[in-house]
Chains A and B, each alone.
Chain A
Amino acid sequence: MTRHLLKLVWNRKRSNALMILEICVSFLVVFGVATLGLFFLDNYRRPLGYQWQSTWNVAIGMGRSDAEPSGDSTAQQATLARLLREVRSLGPVVAAAGSWVLPFEQGGWSSRYQFKGRSLDMDADRATVGFDQAMGLDLVAGRWFEEADAALVEEPIVINRTLARAVYGAEDPVGKRFADERPGERPFRVVGVISDFRKKGELMPNGNFIFHFASMDHPEGKPPRNLLIRVRPGTTVAFEEALVKRMQAVAPEWSFEVRPLAQVRATSFRFLLTPLIVAGTLAFFLLLMVGLGLIGVLWQNLLQRTREIGLRRAAGASRVAVHRQVLLEQLVLTSLGVLLGTLLVVQIPVLDLIGVLSNRVFASGLLFAMITMYLISILCALYPSSLASRVQPAEALRYE
């Protein structure tokens, strides 16, 4: 049966080749959009590792751009320390801390460290005392930084569970050395492990994360440009105004921009989802176009094969049999297109083009695209095929 079908397809190879190409390209389009969507969905289901609902961000403009190495960092450190003390003393503030990076922002800081020859990439942040409370981090082992840590010989770090597992396996990481020593830098020692800190937000994957300690007493390094302030639930914009006034009084030459993290998160979602929505809309119209085109082409093809079908009917084939033949032929065509598309798509992991896609997301995207293409082509074949099966044998044989 299959061989017979393949033969039928082969007999009309020229017009079928175009149809297979069309199905293959559509398959690639569906795969691309579906995989992006599934990638976001898969990430969205995982825990975020922190709470954003009642945390505010204060972005500090220090007059100089971030790109420029700043000469007067000691004075800036001192001002920032005073600022944090002032903010923490305010009534509606539950916790406040400074951080180099801002949750939900897509840019960022990443580093690579060597572990006895093996290298690991990780996203990084430098944060002050109190950051765990301001962000509602979930400490699973050890502790967060303390002001006294500045006096340690080794540099304290806090890592997330993914990184802990990658480096130490099942062992308890707290108190252990971290990474091969770099010349001229202090060695690291793990003081705590958090469940996770997905800096780029719910839609992006969780990877390795490392926190360095931003000490207020430490003379070197730039001070953080972001404050994260956890306020009591129900705190209004009126407090925002008071907050900015107080900060302005402490640091008159700095600029302050207060935004609830909810707003940062909404912006970040819009940034990530807009391309998906645009691509999805375009893909929908493309598929509609392809579907209509398939109906037309199939219809025309079957019209041309009226005599062949008539002959089958005259030789005793039932309408159902004709119906089945047309649908099966279409299934063979679709399978060939999907196969071609799949062969192209699997080059992505083989060539190691994308590191962030998990196998599960990749496989689901592939499956989704396959099912979609089969559904579309069967749906499009139904009407022409029912027309064909209605052909009267006598009429068909007369047809010239």
Chain B
Amino acid sequence: MIKNYLKIALKVLGRRKFFTFISLFGISVTLLVLLVATALLDHVFSAQTPEVHADRMLGVYQLTMRGPDDSENSHPGYGFLDRYVRPMAKLPNVERVALVTETRTVVSYLNGRKIQSAMRRADGEFWRVLAFDFVEGEPFTVADNEGGRFVAVISETARERFFGGSPAVGQTIEADGQRFRVVGVVRDVPVLRYASAADLWVPITTAKTSAYKEEWLGAFTALILARNSADLPQIKAEFQSRLRDAEHHLPDPKTFTTLIAGADTLPEGAARIFLPGEQVANPGGRMRAALLALMLGFMLLPTINLVNINLSRILDRASEIGVRRAFGASARTLVGQFLIENLVLTLIGAAIGLVLAAGVLRAFNVSGILPNTHLQLNLRIFADGLGIAVFFGLFSGVYPAWRMSKLHPVEALRGRSA
């Protein structure tokens, strides 16, 4: 039966080429946009170098201090993290905890040239929580950080800028008025990996002053690596209880009384940073809701368009439907047939969209709009795209199919419609 439907579907599509073209154009462009967006999200949030353990990694990216009149929101400071988060490494289900700053642009001058680099300060554990690809040398260690040694790990791009691509380990670079000895070179990290991307990584203790050690709000992030992804809810709960404890030791208890923060996965962290409004619980759910709303909003117009076209196509086939109904086909059979036809059309459109998306992503990668960003289609995105296409096909097929099943056989046989 299904085979018959498929045959009919293909025949119908071949008969009215202009309509088929219009439908396919709409479907493929819509899916192209959604696929590119999915590739971008996948690129930011999926487990890949250096966040290979993203599935069992949590980060404390934001901290809000609130009081009766005032509220301040920023990255957490080292003082807070050192006292309340770093000791979490002793928990049995936590493998290790790393502290790292957000990036800051630092400037170097080399033979009259100006080099701008994104710099992070990190502790030794940072290199063990994340897995960078070292092309040269190795990371700096916990001892390097504790000893305040002026050593640096640089990216391939930074090596290109400072040394023209020749081996850099053992050489020194100057950045922000300080000199560092290069101990390692890593492959570039895409700028959208907001927990790890930088050009230079140096020990925290090389900061120009030690004022950071007392800060509650500052420029730091804590990365917590769990032993097992199943332990994440437990670790999140533990973090919250430590947060409650920290509220009793606030530096300025008159101004601020409450702390709001979370130990977040990458998408949750992004939701906390980028979504406006109060810092609420369950940022991951809010992020999904926001993305779904965006997707549906974008699909609204293409869907109306496709429904419109589908309706016209159906009415064009009124006499065929009349014959089938006259010979006893139930409304439900007809709806099923039409939905399958529409799905076939959508899947063909999806295939075209996939090919187009591959082309657009290649052009995007070459253009260098986002440095070090290499967007790719993979099986995961393909599956997402397929899901979206099926959803789109059903979504845009239901109303026309219902209208079709409502056609009166006699009227339909006469070639009249609605």
Contacts and interface: CB of A to CB of B under 8 A. Distances in A.
B301 A285 contact: no
A237 B207 CA distance: 26
Contacts of A299: 18
B68 interface: no
Tell which of B74, B105, B308, B315 has the most Cβ of chain A within 10 Å: B308
Interface stretch (A152-160, A225-233, A286-294, A367-375): A286-294
B308 A293 contact: yes
Contacts of B104: 61, 255
Given A67-B217, A255-B176, A304 B211 contact: no
Interface string B73-113: 01101000000000000000000000000001111010011
Contacts of B209: 63-64, 253
Interface residues of A, number: 47
Nearest to B20: A296
A400 interface: yes
B308 A282 contact: no
A304 B315 contact: yes
B100 to A, nearest CB: 15
A216 B216 CA distance: 28
A21 interface: yes
A295 B22 CA distance: 9
B114 A297 contact: no
Contacts of A300: 19, 312-313, 315-316
Nearest to B219: A65
A18 B399 CA distance: 11
B336 interface: no
Nearest to A240: B114
Nearest to A242: B109
Contacts of A395: none
Contacts of B22: 292-293, 295-296
Contacts of A256: 107, 176-177
Interface in B307-321: 307-309, 311-313, 315-316
A296 B19 contact: yes
Nearest to B19: A296
B107 A258 contact: yes
B254 interface: no
Contacts of A22: 301, 304-305, 308
A303 B207 CA distance: 77
Contacts of A244: 107, 109, 177
A358 interface: no
A15 interface: yes
Tell which of B109, B219, B414 has the most Cβ of chain A within 10 Å: B109
B114 A237 contact: yes
A65 B217 contact: yes
A288 B209 CA distance: 58
Contact of B304 (A14, A18, A237, A241): A18
A289 B24 CA distance: 10
A67 B300 CA distance: 42
B344 to A, nearest CB: 18
Interface stretch (B25-33, B152-160, B181-189, B222-230): B25-33
The 6 closest A-B pairs by CB, nearest first: A63-B209, A300-B312, A241-B109, A67-B217, A293-B305, A67-B74
Interface of A: 14-15, 18-19, 21-22, 25-26, 29, 61, 63-65, 67-69, 237-238, 240-241, 244-245, 248, 252-258, 282, 285-286, 288-290, 292-293, 295-297, 299-301, 303-304, 400
Given A14-B418, A18-B311, 18 more contacts: A63-B208, A65-B74, A65-B215, A65-B218, A65-B219, A68-B218, A237-B114, A240-B109, A244-B177, A255-B106, A256-B177, A257-B107, A286-B301, A290-B305, A292-B21, A292-B26, A293-B306, A300-B19
28 contacts: A25-B300, A25-B301, A29-B301, A61-B104, A61-B208, A63-B211, A64-B209, A64-B211, A65-B75, A65-B77, A69-B252, A237-B114, A241-B114, A244-B109, A245-B177, A252-B208, A253-B208, A257-B105, A257-B106, A282-B298, A285-B33, A290-B305, A293-B22, A293-B308, A296-B22, A297-B309, A300-B316, A304-B417
Interface of B: 18-19, 21-22, 25-26, 29-30, 33, 72, 74-75, 77, 104-107, 109, 112-114, 176-177, 207-209, 211-212, 215-219, 252, 298, 300-302, 304-309, 311-313, 315-316, 414-415, 417-418
